[in-house]
Amino acid sequence: MQSFLRLHDGALQPPSAPRCAETPRLPTLTSSPTLRQPLILPLQSLLQARAPRQLDWSAGEMNEDGKRHETATIKSHNDTETPNPIPFYLLHVSALAAIFTGVHAADLWLCLGLYLLRMFGVTAGYHRYFAHKSFKTSRVFQFILAFIAQTSAQRGVLWWASHHRNHHRFSDTAQDVHSPARTSFWYAHFGWVIDPKNHETDYDGIADFTKYPELVWLERNPYLPPVLLGIVVWLFAGWSGLVVGYVWSLIACYHATFCINSLAHVHGRQRFVTGDHSRNNWMLAIATMGEGWHNNHHAFPNAARQGFKWWEFDLSFLILRILSWFGIVWDLRHPPKEMVQGIHLPGPALMEKAAHQLLQDFADRLAKAREGWRVPTVEELRAIAIRNMPKNPHLDAILARAEELASEWMPAWLAQQTARQPG
């Protein structure tokens, strides 16, 4: 069986050319102007992605049978530019303008209302509809969803959804641009969003929506919805409405969304073996209208609901269900019953991914402890599995595959490293 693994050490490259190299490109999305380096450098150390580890493994995309697709890595066209966090920090400072405008009860209600509206746009729009197609709707409501989503100023809907699809393909591997396991926590939280190397939209990865010219138009004007919303808020609620209602809800929506990429891959519990570090976290689920059930979501990404149990509060799904009663959305997808009951058998692709995760966790442990590289014993892999994976009846099969992969790839990698040693 041909392995889907590639050692990510610069010598063994992914087999296919970067997909974006042949992607027809629309006009580049706006990127922030670069400020003077001396000012930026101290701030940047916060965001810096960790250098790729030599022992890093890259997983290719797999189909349902566990066979490896030709993979494509989203690569930068402007790798030399560096992330500039200043505008993002200035936005946070602008929230302090409330000292001058005052904070009224009506502004706080407006803030809550706009937070819920924007968060619904993020969860039901960007995420569950455009990235995962977990329900169906009309072309008109599809546009409305995209517009609402973009009022949260998280770039175009096609950009957001295509990047998110790659997150699921490569979650917590070197090709995942916002994995806290592979980069620094702050880079996974928001650094990747402002990093110019991630500003391209992978149009091939979202071809199912590029056929709608109105969505492409929105993509080309990503900040039109938030600017229009800001003008309306200012006209009807004045300066305090703009600062407290608009800016505070914008910042809250940013961090709630970013927490799913950062915290929801670090803190919480795993119910399902997903081959990544996704977690269920009830506090995040409340704050993000249901997105905190992130391990559930990684287990069945195409479900419109992310809270699988009755007590797993998922406000976005409740709203979608109400919308379905009026025929605004329909065909909401549900997770398979066997999965919710915990008797779902993982397919070959998932087993492969889980085996890969074990090897990656082993490599990370060696890198952390600065131990020499070696092929892991099955006992070492089992200890990692017990610590990092939820209990599952398929552990022995996952361990066997991990052992097989290790023996297939590590000797070649070791030989390469030895050949590279000076002298």
Of 312 and 403, nearer to Zn ion (C-beta) is 312
Q: Which is nearer to Zn ion, 304 or 381 (CB)?
A: 304
Q: How near is the Cβ of 301 to Zn ion at its closest, in Å?
A: 5
The two three-digit tokens of residue 40, written as one number = 């930026």
Nearest to 58 by CA among 350, 374, 402, 353: 353
Q: Which is nearer to Zn ion, 240 or 296 (CB)?
A: 296
Element (H, E) at 5: strand 5-7
Spatial neighbors of 49 by CB under 8 A, at least 6 apart, are 182, 183, 184, 187, 191, 192, 195
Could you give the residue ranges of the DSSP H alpha helices within 182-336? 185-186, 192-194, 207-210, 213-220, 224-240, 248-261, 282-287, 294-299, 315-325
What are the two backbone dihedrals, phi and then psi, of residue 293, each rounded to the nearest 5 degrees?
Answer: -85, 60
CA dihedral (412, 417, 422, 423) positive or negative:
negative
CB of 319 to Zn ion, least distance (A): 18
Q: How far, in Å, CA of 263 to CA of 187, rounded? A: 12
- Residue with smaller CB distance to Zn ion, 242 or 263: 263
| Least distance to Zn ion, CB of residue 182, Å | 12
Nearer to Zn ion by Cβ, of 283 and 412: the residue is 283
As a residue count, the chain comes to: 423
Local structure of 44: helix, strand or coil: helix
User: 299 vs 329, which CB is nearer to Zn ion?
Assistant: 299
Is 107 buried (19+), middle (13-18) or exposed (0-12) by CB count in 10 A? Answer: buried
Task: Rank residues 133 and 382 by Cβ distance to Zn ion and give the closer one.
Answer: 133
**Minimum gap (Å) between residue 308 Cβ and Zn ion:** 15
CB of 121 to Zn ion, least distance (A): 15
Tell me 7's DSSP state: E
Binding site for Zn ion (CB under 5 A): 278, 301
Q: What are the tokens at 170?
A: 């490569």
Shortest Å, Cβ 404 to Zn ion: 27
Q: Could you tell me the smallest distance in angstroms from the CB atom of residue 331 to Zn ion?
A: 18
Please, which residue, 111 or 260, has the CB nearer to Zn ion? Answer: 260
Q: Smallest distance from the beta carbon of 164 to Zn ion, in angstroms? A: 5
Number of Cβ atoms within 10 Å of the Cβ of 89: 11
For the bound state, the minimum distance from the C-beta of residue 421 to Zn ion, rounded and expressed in Å, comes to 38
Choice between 150 and 295, CB closer to Zn ion: 295
User: Sign of the C-alpha dihedral, residues 324, 330, 333, 337?
Assistant: positive
On whether the CB atoms of residues 98 and 49 are closer than 8 A, the answer is no
